């Protein structure tokens, strides 16, 4: 192993030095010295750690370091405790109230009602338990990023050890394909590059070298450092471990994930407020009715039973069931549109979203590099990927008819290690090299065909020091050398410029021209490569001297085709879209303008311009909230941006795919992870996962969320109307000195059986076409506003009046007594509540043709409920439990007629309003 590494380093002409310093008692570079690894030379880092890099740590030094710093592991997060989650379902004021009602029922000997109330509690708690039982897996996913083993030099020997045994000061031997096991300072490198996209958001592998950078350099630009959890994509090298476990950048992010408390959804907050209001109403009504009844001389046991009935009537026991079913249905509908929901309440939160903070790469763009244009001495050629043609001023240009284009494409294919996929196989290699082969293929130039004519005899691999790559090919008696690399590096080695069949001198005017070309292209957010070459008489000449420039290739990760339309839809819906990316400002600015996210002339805010949230003035907060694009942001800054908008009252959706996004995904009101390219950490921290990584899917999910929120309002209004009618029926009857018109078990039956099906049907109503043409509801707006409360009070009052009328009719006209009276009241109320579903519509809509009557589920719910009521009336055991008795035909006629009165009253009021 040691010999292999030495050969690779020497082959790349990489100077490898060893640093020998006497060991100091405290080798922790962060504690013992002021040495900053990325801004210090490799020798300074070794000295700060008291380390001999050629020898490595001794056994005693390793043991001492392990006892001081512990294992190289991220902090374990205990899994969610199912028992604790189950008990949490009972920690609710509504549950306490129902438990009290169950206790009263047991005290007065109503065992059936006691069991029924407990069954309600178990059903509701069971649903909550199942939906909330999800272990906290983010920390476990972070730990999975650690490698199982690592190659180190200790006591002068190369050995392989488990990754968790690494300690600060270890010398690690690095090779392509490794996953970095700790944070490290590079001390030698040969063509080394690391994929840090999951940690920093940088979309392409980062070339690494030994040169220190400035102390305040952002994490993404610390080219002399390797970070835990990132994969080595190419090259070899050696590095000193500077941080392990929770002291690494990955550990820092895991701590942020742990500390980032997820925001409760607007629905959860609003339902809690609604529950508190219902409890106060229940306590006040039960107290008032009980006190009044006792003062009027009513029997104490009757008043206790009345209190139980009122408690049961005031609580919409079916609401948690219906809400869960409606949200679950929304989850299924969103899944059909490639949006997988992890948390039920996130479905509704989407509909309340006012700000979307989105990543660039893969969400707004295709996450795939393509050739955008080529510049030769002839001018600029645009590459139309759709047609596979090169266009100059709108006219087609081919390599066969343009020598400059042919020379550039041939050079780009020869100086290339990628391969195009064939017959359904995917392409492999560096993304930019793949895109060069695709562009050449579109014009009929194939790399394999070129290699047949010009066999490769040598390769000079890309080197971070030269920032260039070269290949040498046999060309008859001579040798063709193809070069590509960073434009500034290549231009410094160019002697002449190709103009087709001849070349011109690369004088200062030419150099200024090509530098201007590159600056203009770079300002548009394009990635650039210069392609050059030369002919030599022998293969071992210096490849990077006296080159002929063929041209410059500009690449971009193009915007998705549907993004501009999706952003326009979001804007129309009143949603502010903000790009938060780890990429460079120029690239972010170009893409944001291309998709219509930001206006012309705006300025992207870079990470170094962002103050911590607590240090911002009100003016700075306002300026930051108004910004559209943020570049090179850190995980902490993402948290600050989310907090900034949340404190201003916004509901924030955050997209992300990397480890660095996990804290923000957890902190946001709704975290949205990428399913195709997202890390496991990001997916576990998110509330929603996009299977297609498309921004348009987010907008579609928001549309679905708004539909669901509207429907939640509908069925909540319906259920509370029914509950209010029950409270009024029981309360008014007792205050009037009448017997109980409804029994507690009958109320439970209505709330849990006949009310649930129509309510769920209301949760399936389709939305208006202009659902995204309206602004999002204010986050502070309650789930029920003034118009809903008017419907609840008016509807509940009319239903109560109708039911009490049936009681009067049964007693004084039909001459019914005892359970027959409660039976008539029960069925009148049942049918009145059932028909009340048609009243939960916009007053502008007519009675016959509207969203409710066109919904198949509404008619199915009515059919099911009528069947259940028929069974309850005819089946002896059920009828006995509910204390239902047979009624004469005249009573049934009165029941049906009275139950339709609320619908008639509602339609007359709506008709009068439409006439105004």
Query: CA 708 → CA 194, 345, 541, 845, distances in Å?
Result: 44, 11, 70, 20
Spatial contact of 684 and 138, defined as CB atoms under 8 Å apart = yes
Residue 779's alpha-carbon distances to 708, 763, 819, in angstroms, are 16, 21, 48
Contact at 8 Å (CB) between 336 and 404? no
Question: Rg of the chain over CA atoms, in angstroms?
Answer: 36
Closest CA to 315 of 101, 126, 104: 101
* Dihedral (Cα; 166, 168, 170, 175), 10-degree rounding: 70
Nearest Cα to 447, choosing from 455, 479, 431, 400? 455
User: What are 636's two structure tokens?
Assistant: 């902490």
Cα–Cα distance for residue pair 762/855, rounded to 1 Å: 9
Cα 147 to Cα 161, 196, 241, distances in angstroms = 11, 15, 15
With tokens 């050079």, the residue in question is: 411
The full DSSP string for 115-146 is HHHHHHHHHHHHHHHHHH-----HHHHHHHTS
- For 292-295, the CB contacts below 8 A with 24+ separation are 292/734, 292/735, 293/734, 293/735
From the list 791, 872, 883, the residue with the least C-alpha distance to 831 is 872
Residues with Cβ within 8 Å of residue 317, at least 6 apart in sequence: 98, 120, 124, 748, 751, 752
Q: Which residues contact 158 (CB under 8 A, 6 or more apart)?
A: 1, 2, 5, 151, 152, 173
| The two structure tokens encoding residue 654 | 């955050």
d(CA 376, CA 510): 12
SS3 (DSSP) at 747:
helix
Which residues lie closer than 8 Å to 862 by C-beta, 6 or more apart? Answer: 757, 758, 834, 837
Residue whose token pair is 């609604």 = 274
Of 691, 695, 652, the closest CA to residue 671 belongs to 652
Neighbours of 540 (CB within 10 A): 10
Torsion of CA 10, 13, 14, 15, to 10 degrees: 90
What element of type H or E holds 617? none
Residue of 52, 170, 209, 359 marked catalytic: 359
Q: How far apart are CA 566 and CA 696, in angstroms?
A: 5
For 150, the token pair is: 């690592």
Q: Hey, how many other C-beta atoms are within 10 angstroms of the C-beta on 623? A: 12
359 in catalytic set: yes
Tokens 């239903």 locate to: 799
CA separation (Å) from 647 to 321, 640, 776?
Answer: 32, 10, 17
| Distance of alpha carbon 26 from the chain centroid | 43
766 close to 850: Cβ distance less than 8 angstroms: no
Q: Where are the beta strands (DSSP E) in 274-408?
A: 339-341, 355-358, 370-376, 379-384, 389-392, 395-397
Give me the active site residues, please: 359
């Amino acid at each position: 192993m040691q010999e292999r590494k030495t050969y690779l380093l020497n082959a790349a002409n990489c100077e490898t030095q060893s640093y020998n310093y006497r060991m100091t008692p405290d080798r922790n570079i962060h504690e013992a010295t002021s040495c900053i690894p990325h801004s210090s030379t490799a020798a300074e880092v070794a000295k700060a750690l008291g380390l001999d890099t050629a020898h490595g740590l001794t056994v005693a030094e390793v043991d001492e370091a392990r006892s001081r710093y512990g294992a190289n592991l991220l902090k374990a997060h205990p899994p969610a405790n199912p028992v604790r989650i189950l008990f949490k379902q009972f920690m609710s004021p509504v549950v306490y109230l129902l438990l009290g009602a169950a206790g009263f029922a047991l005290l007065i000997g109503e065992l059936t009602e006691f069991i029924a109330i407990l069954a309600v509690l178990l059903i509701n708690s069971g649903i909550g338990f199942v939906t909330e039982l999800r272990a906290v897996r983010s920390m476990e996913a972070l730990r999975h990023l650690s490698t199982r083993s690592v190659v180190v030099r200790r006591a002068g020997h190369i050995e392989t050890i488990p990754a968790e045994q690494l300690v600060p000061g270890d010398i690690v031997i690095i090779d392509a394909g490794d996953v970095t096991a700790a944070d490290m300072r590079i001390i030698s490198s040969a063509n080394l590059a690391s994929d840090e996209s999951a940690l920093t958001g940088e979309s392409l592998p980062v070339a690494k070298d030994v040169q220190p950078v400035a102390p305040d350099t952002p994490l993404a630009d610390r080219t002399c450092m390797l970070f835990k959890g990132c994969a080595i994509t190419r090259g070899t090298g050696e590095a000193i471990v500077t941080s392990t476990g929770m002291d690494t950048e990955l550990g820092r992010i895991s701590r942020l994930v742990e500390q980032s408390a997820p925001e409760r959804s607007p629905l959860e907050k609003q339902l809690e407020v609604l529950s508190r209001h219902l409890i106060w109403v229940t306590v006040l009504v039960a107290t008032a009715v009980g006190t009044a009844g006792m003062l009027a001389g009513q029997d104490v046991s009757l008043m206790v039973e009345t209190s139980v009935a009122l408690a049961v009537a005031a609580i919409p026991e079916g609401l948690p069931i219906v809400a869960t079913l409606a949200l679950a249905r929304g989850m299924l509908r969103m899944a059909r549109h490639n949006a997988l929901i992890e948390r039920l309440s996130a479905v509704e939160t989407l509909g309340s979203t006012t700000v979307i903070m989105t990543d660039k790469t893969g969400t707004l763009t295709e996450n795939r590099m393509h050739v955008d244009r080529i510049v030769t001495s002839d001018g600029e050629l645009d590459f139309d990927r759709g047609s596979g043609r090169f266009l100059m001023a709108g006219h087609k240009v081919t390599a066969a008819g343009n020598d400059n284009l042919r020379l550039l494409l041939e050079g780009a294919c020869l100086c290339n290690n990628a391969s195009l996929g064939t017959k359904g196989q995917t392409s492999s290699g560096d993304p930019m090299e793949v895109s060069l082969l695709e562009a050449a293929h579109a014009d009929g130039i194939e790399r394999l065909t070129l290699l047949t004519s010009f066999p490769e005899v040598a390769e000079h691999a890309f080197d971070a020091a030269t920032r260039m790559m070269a290949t040498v090919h046999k060309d008859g008696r001579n040798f063709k050398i193809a070069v590509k690399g960073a434009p500034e590096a290549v231009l410094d080695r160019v002697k002449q410029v190709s103009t087709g069949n001849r070349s011109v001198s690369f004088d200062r005017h030419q150099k200024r021209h090509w530098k201007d070309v590159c600056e203009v292209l770079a300002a548009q957010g394009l990635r650039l490569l210069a392609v050059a070459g030369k002919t030599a008489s022998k293969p071992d000449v210096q490849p990077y001297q006296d080159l002929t420039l063929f041209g410059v290739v500009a690449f971009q990760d193009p915007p998705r085709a549907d993004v501009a339309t999706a952003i326009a839809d979001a804007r129309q819906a009143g949603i502010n879209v903000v790009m938060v990316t780890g990429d460079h400002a120029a690239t972010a600015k170009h893409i944001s303008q291309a998709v219509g996210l930001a206006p012309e002339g705006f300025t992207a805010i870079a990470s170094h311009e962002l103050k911590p949230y607590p240090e911002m003035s009100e003016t700075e907060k306002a300026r930051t909230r108004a910004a559209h694009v943020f570049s090179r942001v850190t995980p902490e800054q993402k948290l600050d941006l989310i907090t900034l908008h949340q404190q201003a009252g916004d509901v924030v959706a955050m997209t992300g795919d990397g480890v660095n996004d996990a804290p923000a995904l957890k902190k946001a009101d709704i975290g949205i992870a990428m399913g195709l390219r997202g890390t496991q950490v990001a997916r576990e921290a998110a509330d929603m996962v996009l299977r297609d990584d498309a921004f348009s899917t987010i907008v579609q999910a928001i549309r679905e969320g708004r539909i669901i929120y509207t429907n939640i309002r509908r069925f909540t209004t319906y259920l509370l109307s029914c509950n209010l009618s029950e409270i009024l029926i029981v309360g008014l009857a007792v205050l009037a000195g009448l017997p109980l018109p409804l029994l507690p078990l009958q109320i439970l039956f209505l709330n849990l059986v006949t009310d649930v099906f129509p309510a769920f049907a209301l949760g399936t109503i389709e939305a208006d076409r202009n659902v995204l043409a309206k602004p999002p509801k204010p986050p502070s707006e309650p789930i029920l506003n003034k118009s809903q409360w008017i419907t609840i009070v008016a509807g509940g009052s009319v239903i109560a009046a109708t039911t009490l009328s049936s009681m009067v009719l049964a007693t004084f006209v039909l001459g019914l007594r005892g359970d027959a009276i409660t039976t008539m009241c029960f069925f009148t109320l049942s049918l009145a509540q059932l028909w009340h579903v048609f009243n939960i519509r916009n007053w502008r809509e007519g009675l016959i043709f509207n969203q409710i009557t066109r919904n198949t589920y509404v008619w199915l719910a009515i059919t099911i409920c009528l069947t259940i009521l028929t069974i309850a009336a005819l089946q002896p055991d059920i009828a006995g439990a509910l204390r239902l008795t047979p009624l004469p035909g005249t009573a049934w006629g009165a029941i049906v007629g009275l139950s339709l009165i609320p619908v008639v009253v509602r339609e007359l009021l709506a008709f009068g309003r439409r006439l105004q």
